Every structure is written in structure tokens, then in C-alpha cells.
Amino acid sequence: MTYIAKPKLHHPTLTRNNVGYTRRDYEGRISTLCAGCGHDSISAAIVQACWELDIEPHRVAKLSGIGCSSKTPDYFLGASHGFNSVHGRMPSVLTGANLANRELLYLGISGDGDSASIGLGQFANAMRRGVRMAYIVENNGVYGLTKGQFSATADRGSKSKKGAINTDAPIDLVGLALQLGATYVARSFSGDKAQLVPLIKGAMEHGGAAFIDVISPCVTFNNHAGSTKSYDYVREHNDAVSRIDFISEHEEITTDYAPGEVVDVRQHDGSVLRLRKLHPEYDPTDRLAAMNYMHEQQARGEIVTGLLYVDPLATDLHTAFNTTERPLNTLGRAELCPGARALDKINASLR
């Protein structure tokens, strides 16, 4: 942690994106997390992704729960909307915000404690309903704020810093998300920004519930030998299914790959996810196959990363509810209160 502010001076070649901001404009306040925390790398990846996507900061709402991970929205997108909710309740607050204003981009930031323990029900239902958001879990397998007890995502058999062995089975958030109907499911590693940044970009432009489980080592309590969430362990067991390039709808799509090497997945808004396959048989649009592959690799102790599953034509909660196209705060009195005749009509239809 530090309180020394990051100097405003920047590299002379720092460039502006299409909406006139430098990457530095997407930063937040100085992080108070431990030095070397994986979460800070994820914050940096979010900053990079939003800058590359030409997102105007005021178009983003970042919501979080409680925990080290949930502190991080203070450390990026300082000019965006934010809400730090109750422990484990980020998904329902975000759902409400999303229903009220569908025009913002929603970024849900949570941790393994916040989403896999106290907020597991909230997590499950948000995935199930298809709330349009990028749901990022910063997963380090420990309760860092309470000094390093195993969290619900800690692998069975992994060792705590004090030497205790975890006897409980882990909750696999990626498996749950796949099973519950999330339409964009990925796993990544805080120490691999080349993989993480395009995944965040794809998630933010996705049309439905997008979930990214980011393994984020806790340098203070979970970065030792015997941990399965340490920098060394994740690097040794990282099995990436593909490298992903995100191509926005404005960019020209060029192909310099041999057929079969890449899969282009076009999302609803015209953006393209280009997957450079590392496993020729892997099909990221086949949900069942994705689940099978993941479980097989998991049984071997490998950590499958990359874009595991995407439904390019995903829809969301607003489609299901057939809600109004416009944010509620732009509706006038006439639309919100259509009068007694409209009420009579509704009542009549229910008789």
C-alpha cells in the first residue's frame, strides 16, 4: 500500500483516444492495497481496456461489494459512476441500476468471498437472468482482509500460509456461470495483461451477462509454495485455450491467419472477437463441450484460461422483460403516468 500520489507527469508520447482522453485519464486514486496485489494489475487492465474502447468515463457505472477486490473501483475510472454496496449484494444493486438506466455500461467488481460465499445466491441469479454487465471476480482464494483464511474458491488440498490444508471442495464460479446461462464466460490471470485486456473489452461490449474469473494472487497471504493461486503456480498450470484479439466495429478486419487458426465471433454490436486457437478442437461457442473440457483439465490440475464460452447473439434481461428502450430518468410524466384509461385497459386485459 502507499499514500504517495502518482505524479501527474506522464510520458511525452502518451496519446489520446478517439474521445480525447489519455490512458491516465481513466485512472483513479492511488491504490491502498498491498504492494504487488494482483487486483492492481486488474485495475490497470480495466483502465487500458476502457481507454482502448474509447469509452467516455461518464458512460460507465462500476459497482462492487465488500473486500479487497471491492475496494478497487476507487483505483480506476475516477470519473465514472460508482456504488460500493453491501457484502455480496453487488449483483442486485447492479440489476436495479441496469433496469433503471440501460444506456450505461455496467462493471461489476467482486471477489471470491463476495461472490462465492456471502453473495453466491446473488451471483447465481444475476447470471441466470442475463443482466447485461461485465462481472469481474478478482479471485485470490483467501480472505485477505481478515488475514488469510481459505475462501470458498480455495482448492481442496491447497496449503495456507500458516500451513493448514484446505479440506473443503472449491466453488467453481466459471462452472456455475456456464451452467446458469451466462453468455460470455472467461477466465484469466492478473499477471497476463495481454490476455486479460481483450477479454475485458469483449465483456464490456457483450450484449448479455459476461463473467470473467480473474485469478489474482494475494501476495501477502496466498503466494507461497502449496498455494494454487500463487504467481508461480498459475504460470506453471496455465492452459490457455486461445489468444483473443478484440476488434471494435469501427476497425478494419484483416486476415493474416491460415484458415482454421482463428475463429472470428461477431457480437451483436458489430464488434468481433478474434480467437487465435491454441487448441484446434476447442469450440468456444459450444457450451457443453466447454464445460467438459474445463472439468477434464481441472481434474488434471490445470487452470483453463481464455474465452471459454460465448453466445454472440446473447440477449439480456431488458429483452426478457420487454422494458422501455429509454432510461427511466428520461421518461416524462405522460409516459410514467399514462392515466386512468390506460389502467382500465390493463385491468380489462386481466379479467
Partner 1 sequence: MQRTDTTNPAWFHKVVDCQWACPAHTPVPEYIRLIAQGRHDDAYMVNWVANVFPGILGRTCDRPCEPACRRGRVEENNGVKPEPVAICRLKRVAADMKGDVKARMPQVGPANGKRVACVGAGPASLTVARDLAPLGYEVTVFDGEAKAGGFMRQQIPRFRLPEEVIDEEMGYVFDLGVRFRAGERIDSMKALLGAGYDAIFVGSGAPRGRDLDLPGRAQAAANIHIGIDWLASVSFGHITKIGKRVIVLGGGNTAMDCCRSAKRLGGEDVKVIVRSGFEEMKASPWEKEDAMHEGIPILNYHVPKSFEHEGGRLRGMTFEIVRAEYNAEGRRTLVATGEPDVFVPCDDVLVAVGQENAFPWIERDCGIEFDRWGLPKLGSTTHQSTLPQVFFGGDAAFGPKNIITAVAHGHEAAVSIDRFLHGEDVAKRPPPMTNLVSQKMGIHEWSYSNEATNDARFKVPWVKAERALASIKVEVELGFDAATAFKEAERCLNCDVQTVFTDSLCIECDACIDICPTDCLTLTENGDEADLRTRLTAPATNLDQGLFVSSPLKTLRIMAKDEDVCLHCGLCAERCPTGAWDMQKFRLDVTHAGPGCRDQAPPRRVLAAAAE
Choosing from 89, 128, 161, 193, the residue that interacts with partner 1 (CB under 8 A) is: 193
Closest residue by Cα to residue 64 from 27, 107, 96, 30:
107
Least distance to partner 1 from the beta carbon of 233, Å?
12
Least distance to partner 1 from the beta carbon of 155, Å?
20
Helices (H), the chain: 38-52, 68-71, 90-100, 112-116, 120-129, 173-180, 193-204, 231-237, 287-299, 317-321, 333-336, 340-350
Residue 205 CA from chain centroid, whole number? 11
> Strand, helix or coil at 11?
coil
The single residue listed with the C-alpha cell 492478473 is 190
CA–CA dist 263, 276 (Å, integer) = 7
* Residue 190 touching partner 1 (CB under 8 A): yes
Nearer to partner 1, 232 or 286 (CB): 232
Least distance to partner 1 from the beta carbon of 93, Å?
28
First to last CA, the chain: 63
Nearer to partner 1, 235 or 295 (CB): 235
CA–CA dist 335, 351 (Å, integer) = 24
Q: Give the number of residues in contact with partner 1, rule: CB under 8 A.
A: 33
Per CB under 8 A, contacts with partner 1 among 201-220 are 217, 219-220
Per CB under 8 A, contacts with partner 1 among 222-251 are 223, 231-232, 235
* Residue 7 touching partner 1 (CB under 8 A): yes
Cell of 79: 470519473
* Residue 83 touching partner 1 (CB under 8 A): no
Choosing from 25, 26, 28, 43, the residue that interacts with partner 1 (CB under 8 A) is: 43
* Residue 36 touching partner 1 (CB under 8 A): yes
Do 169 and 248 meet the contact criterion of CB atoms below 8 Å apart? no
CB burial of 249-285 (b: ≥16 within 10 Å; e: otherwise) equals eeeeeeeeeeeeebbebebeeebbbbbebeeeebbbe
* Residue 41 touching partner 1 (CB under 8 A): yes
Question: Which of the stretches 63-71, 186-194, 202-210, 341-349 binds partner 1 when contact is defined by CB under 8 A?
Answer: 186-194
Choosing from 19, 29, 35, 331, the residue that interacts with partner 1 (CB under 8 A) is: 35
Choosing from 18, 19, 20, 34, the residue that interacts with partner 1 (CB under 8 A) is: 34
* Residue 38 touching partner 1 (CB under 8 A): yes
Question: Which CA distances in Å does 47 have to 27, 44, 116?
Answer: 6, 5, 25
* Residue 12 touching partner 1 (CB under 8 A): yes
Nearer to partner 1, 85 or 216 (CB): 216
Choosing from 25, 26, 28, 40, the residue that interacts with partner 1 (CB under 8 A) is: 40
Nearer to partner 1, 63 or 219 (CB): 219
Nearer to partner 1, 36 or 121 (CB): 36
Question: Which of the stretches 12-20, 135-143, 206-214, 343-351 binds partner 1 when contact is defined by CB under 8 A?
Answer: 12-20
**Total Cβ atoms within 10 A of residue 318:** 16
Least distance to partner 1 from the beta carbon of 55, Å?
19
* Residue 9 touching partner 1 (CB under 8 A): yes
Cell of 182: 451466462
CA–CA dist 271, 53 (Å, integer) = 11
* Residue 6 touching partner 1 (CB under 8 A): yes
CA–CA dist 261, 267 (Å, integer) = 19
Question: Which of the stretches 35-43, 122-130, 150-158, 267-275 binds partner 1 when contact is defined by CB under 8 A?
Answer: 35-43
Do 63 and 131 meet the contact criterion of CB atoms below 8 Å apart? no
Residues that bind partner 1 (CB under 8 A): 2-14, 24, 34-38, 40-41, 43-44, 190-191, 193, 217, 219-220, 223, 231-232, 235
